[in-house]
Structures are given as structure tokens and as C-alpha cells.
Amino acid sequence: MTQPAAPRPTPAPVLPPENRLLALLRRAGLLDWFLLGLVAAVVLAYLVPAVGSQSSVIPWKLITTVGVALIFFFYGLKLSLDKLKAGLRNWHLHVVVQLITFVVFPVLALLVRPLFEGAKGAQLWQSIFFLCTLPSTVSTSVVMVSIARGNLPAAIFNASISSLLGIVLTPLWASLFLHTSADSGHLWNLAASLVWQVVLPVAAGVLLNRRFGHFAEQHKGALRISDQVVILLIVFTAFCESFEEGIFRTFAARDILLLSLGMIGLYLGIFGVVWGLSRALGFSREDRITALFCGSKKSLVHGSVMASLLFPGMAATGLLLLPLMLYHALQIMLASMMAQRMGRQAEELPATSAA
């Protein structure tokens, strides 16, 4: 009796060219609604700068202040003390990631300082240095490590610790090399703002984690969207003030292009440093991936918040955020492609050699 012929596999549907383009853009992160929202916020600020400036009747300062406090409260609510204690065991990895984030980045910015000449160059360098002092992201780092099949618990620990360290180290670096409001006359105001808007909300969230932490986990998608909305408001008001004061009039399209190329170089340079250092220290593949994606990221959330705290009322805040916004977009696009490639490589590795 003859065996029935095996059914032929159904061929994958061929997408039309426009659908393939959309799929590629979505895979690269270019269709992320938040990135599109950032572009829209800047365009809107350019068209109607008076709406978001200090002269507006809308109480933007109060709205963003409350929003910032809520961001950090819910961030603390998602932090478990037990998980943080367990994460301390892999201390070699944590030291490398935090040194890259808070030492190597700022030192690189200081080394290129002589390349920026004149008043315009000094403004750009200050913006780049501010970017280099910021902590790593939380959600993006963890997601990329998960896609690349890295050490996920260590990624969660490092991203969380980086955010907490940034509360202290970012203002410290900025006060040493930037013209912030943290002089003798405003130091206590800055400290009070950090305490009320950042430290106390985080502490309150951590203390309430055992009772309400499940709420934050259940609604983390909605909380992430609310965080992003607050950041969009901060970016919108910052650029409104900058356009109102004419900060960008001296910068041509060529300057923005060179800045974008510089951000690409910074990201790839840090990526190479972390990769070489983690291999030299004998990290496992999973730990190398965690070091790469946690050590090369910079947080737009913390950058927007710290800019509003360290430079209150300054029209140059929009310019200060420009390199950070470019770096944020680039790190999502480049990291997503790298993470997906590493994830495919991990699936091809034998189980015995995955480490």
C-alpha cells in the first residue's frame, strides 16, 4: 500500500514592496510611536512656540513637576529590595557597567572638548557632555538583553542601580563642568528639587513595593505610556522656550548632521570598548551581552528630568536635549538590530557552548 504524499509546506506570503518597507522600519524601531512623538513635539514647538513657553497661560511647570514625581514613584514601586540584594552577587559585571556609564562616557566627552571651538561649539559640547553624564535606560536595556539572550536578572539590576546612582552622579558631573543653577545661591533649591521630585518618590515606591508592586507590574504598559507622555511634554516645553528665544538660529543643517554622525560614532565606540573589556575580563556570553546593552544606553527620561532641574528656565534646554534625543533614536535603531542578530546567533549555538 503506497504511503500518502506528505503535504507540501505552505509558502510564506510575499509581501508587497510597501509592506516590506513598513516591516523593515518597524523592526528597526523607526515606527515607534514615541520616536514619532518626539519629532512631532519638536515640529509643534517650532510652529507654536508661545503655547509651551513660560509666557503661556497653561501651568506647564506644575504639570511636568507632578509628572516627574509620578514617574519616579512608579519606578520605585517596581523595584524589589529582594531582587536588588540578589543582584549584588555578580559584582564584576555591575562594576564594569557602572564605570562605563558614569566614568568612561564623561571622560570621552572631556577628551574631545578641544575640538569644539567658539561659542556655538561650546554649547554643543555642553549638550554632549550632559548626555554622557546620564544613567542607563531601564526598559530599553532590559528588552534588548532579553532579545539578545543575555543575563536578564543582571540587566534588571544594573539598569535599576544606574538610575539610582544617576540621581547623585549626574548633578555632580554637571556642577563640575557645566554652567548649571547649582551655584552657591541655588544649590539648596536644586537639592530640594531632587529630594521632592526624585528621591522621596523613589523611596516611597520602594517601601510600598511589597503591597502594591503587583499593581505596577500589571499596569506596566500603561505606566510606560504615561512616562513617555510626560517626557514629550518636557521636550515640547523645552523646545518652545528655545525657539522663542532663537537659540537654534546659529545652527545650520550641516551642524545637526555632524552632530548625528558624532552620536553614531559615540555609540559604536562605547560598544567596542565594552565588548573588548568584557572579553578581556573573561565574561560569559550572557554577561557580555548585558554589559553591552546596559553600558551603552543613555536615558531620555532621566535626561529630560535632570535638564529641567539643573537648568530651570533656561532657553538653551532644548539645545541641551538635542544630542540626547538623537542618541536615544540611534540607540534604539542600532541596538535593536544588534540584539536581534545576537538572539539569532544564540539560537544557533549548541546548548553546551551557549555560555
**C-alpha span between 92 and 156 (Å, rounded):** 15
| Confidence at residue 65, expressed as pLDDT on a 0 to 100 scale | 79
The listed range with the strongest mean pLDDT (13-17, 56-60, 142-146) is 56-60
Ordered by start, the domain boundaries in the chain are 57-345
Q: Is 182 exposed, middle or buried (0-12, 13-18, 19+ CB in 10 A)?
A: buried
| Of the listed ranges 30-44, 120-134, 209-223, 273-287, the one predicted with least confidence | 30-44
| Confidence at residue 74, expressed as pLDDT on a 0 to 100 scale | 82
Q: Is the pLDDT of residue 108 over 90?
A: yes
| Of the listed ranges 58-62, 230-234, 268-272, the one predicted with least confidence | 230-234
| Confidence at residue 52, expressed as pLDDT on a 0 to 100 scale | 82
Mean pLDDT of 156-163: 79
pLDDT band at 161 (very low <50, low <70, confident <90, very high): confident
- Judge whether 111 and 130 are in contact, CB under 8 Å: no
- Judge whether 34 and 223 are in contact, CB under 8 Å: no
Average model confidence (pLDDT) across the chain: 77
Mean pLDDT of 91-112: 93
Q: Is the pLDDT of residue 349 over 90?
A: no
Q: Is the pLDDT of residue 17 over 70?
A: no
Residue pointed to by grid coordinates 506528505:
6
| Confidence at residue 220, expressed as pLDDT on a 0 to 100 scale | 77
pLDDT band at 188 (very low <50, low <70, confident <90, very high): low
| Confidence at residue 129, expressed as pLDDT on a 0 to 100 scale | 94
| Confidence at residue 28, expressed as pLDDT on a 0 to 100 scale | 46
Dihedral pair phi/psi, residue 14, rounded to 5°: -85, 120
Within the chain, strands assigned E span none
Of 3.90.1170.50, 3.40.50.2300, 1.20.1530.20, 3.30.1490.20, the CATH number of 57-345 is 1.20.1530.20
| Of the listed ranges 104-113, 199-208, 307-316, the one predicted with least confidence | 307-316
Q: Is the pLDDT of residue 182 over 50?
A: no
| Confidence at residue 240, expressed as pLDDT on a 0 to 100 scale | 82
**N-terminal to C-terminal alpha carbon distance within the chain:** 50
Mean pLDDT of 268-272: 90
Mean pLDDT of 248-275: 85
Which SS3 state, helix, strand or coil, does residue 308 take?
A: helix
pLDDT band at 193 (very low <50, low <70, confident <90, very high): low
pLDDT band at 133 (very low <50, low <70, confident <90, very high): very high
- Judge whether 286 and 153 are in contact, CB under 8 Å: no
Cα atoms in the 13 Å half-sphere on the side-chain side of 237 = 25
Q: Is the pLDDT of residue 190 over 60?
A: no
User: Is the model more confident about 336 or about 254?
Assistant: 254
Q: Is 145 exposed, middle or buried (0-12, 13-18, 19+ CB in 10 A)?
A: buried
Q: Can you give the length of the chain in residues?
A: 355
Q: Is the pLDDT of residue 184 over 50?
A: no
